[in-house]
Amino acid sequence: MTDPEQARSATPPDSGEEGEAIKAVPLRHPWRALIAVVLVLALAVFILDAAQREDYGWADVGKYIFDKRISQAALVTLQLTVYSMLIAIVLGLLLAIMRLSPNPVVKSVAWLYLWIFRGTPVYVQLVFWGIVALIYPVLTLGVPFMTPWVTLPNDVFHNLFITAVIGLALNEAAYMSEIVRAGLLSVDEGQEEASKALAMSWGQTMRYIVVPQAMKIIIPPTGNEVISMLKTTSLVAAIPLSIDLYGVSRGISAVTFTPVPLLIVASIWYLLFTSVLMVGQHFIEKRFSRGTGRRKEDKPTTGGDPAAFTGSHAGNGPTTAALTNAPAGNEAGGKG
């Protein structure tokens, strides 16, 4: 809008003295204060009310929160989460690489997997895995439609815990593959090219160059997936497995007829775990945003584009990471 010539003359270069400090009356925000007061009051009323309400059964909450059965069930929930996530991440990486394969058949198979496992509810899938042993009572190895060489009873699915892990992992792998794929695709092509030009093999390029950079994009959504998985484990009731946190809480309340306190007990445990996971995620994100944050020791003296340094709290979302990833971001950094 303004003529650049004019704008320059408007600010005389180094006039020597600074302009008068501004002492203006700050803008008032009456609505902000009002809304805050209303919210605090509403919350206080709710808490006071809840503390006195019989149905919450706070005494029972206190009684069961550290119940041995509950804490053991919490451990089961944790195990379900960890095992299924680990399998899902490995399988997801495999599927992501398959999706990026130049082989159209390999690519299609990965897509088909994604289509089925992401397109049907996890609850339905868990019910299916619960009865799969009835559909396939024996596992065979051999030439199709001929007498099999090896026949094994399908025992795996008789163990409901393993069934739950398999069911949750296979479903989650579909989501993880998309996350990993997005991460791999976010790495600039020039990185692979530079690595190739340095005579590094495909495997070395992936391991040392592409995947470490993709991690920055992969970790935040994976953290969300872990948290989401922790809660999804409550659906193993569909198998039916009832030794997890929610299953056991329900089991106890079915006997004591106190459903609400036990729901609260289970929720507290879930919240505890998700809170711990959130803290862990924060530190892992920090670790993988190396090179986008501030320099290790001394801070940059000349301020480049501040956007280039938002990486110090990068990992808030792909947008920040993508920003710092762009080649332009490299130059925007301070001149050292």
Examine residue 335 and tell whether it contacts another protein (CB under 8 A): yes
- Compare residues 35 and 198 and give the one whose CB is closer to another protein: 198
In 3D space, the residue among 281, 229, 221, 268 whose CA is nearest the CA of residue 77 turns out to be: 229
Neighbouring CB atoms inside 10 A of 266's CB total: 26
Min separation Cβ 319 and another protein, Å? 17
Examine residue 319 and tell whether it contacts another protein (CB under 8 A): no
> What residues contact 177, with CB distance under 8 A and at least 6 apart?
91, 92, 93, 94, 95, 96, 99, 110, 113, 114
34 backbone φψ class: left, alpha, beta (φ>0; ψ -120 to 50): alpha
Q: Residue from 65, 290, 322, 323 that binds another protein (CB under 8 A)?
A: 290
Q: Which amino acid is present at 162? A: I
Within 13 Å, how many C-alpha atoms sit on residue 103's CB side? 6
Q: Residue from 130, 183, 311, 318 that binds another protein (CB under 8 A)?
A: 311
Residue owning tokens 């919350």: 43
- Compare residues 215 and 229 and give the one whose CB is closer to another protein: 215
10-18, 58-66, 143-151, 326-334 -> range binding another protein (CB under 8 A): 326-334
Min separation Cβ 323 and another protein, Å? 11
- State the binding string over 249-288 for another protein (x if CB under 8 A, else -): ---------------------------------------x
Examine residue 209 and tell whether it contacts another protein (CB under 8 A): yes
- Compare residues 9 and 201 and give the one whose CB is closer to another protein: 201
Site for another protein in 65-104 (CB under 8 A): none
CB 241 within 8 A of CB 127: no
Q: 3-state DSSP: the chain helix, strand, coil percent, rounded to 5? A: 70, 0, 25
> What is the Cα–Cα distance from 270 to 267, expressed in whole angstroms?
5
> What is the Cα–Cα distance from 250 to 231, expressed in whole angstroms?
15
Examine residue 312 and tell whether it contacts another protein (CB under 8 A): no
Site size for another protein (CB under 8 A): 39
* Interface residues toward another protein, by CB under 8 A: 188, 190-191, 193-202, 204, 208-209, 212-213, 216, 288, 290-292, 295-297, 300, 308, 311, 324-325, 327, 329-331, 333-336
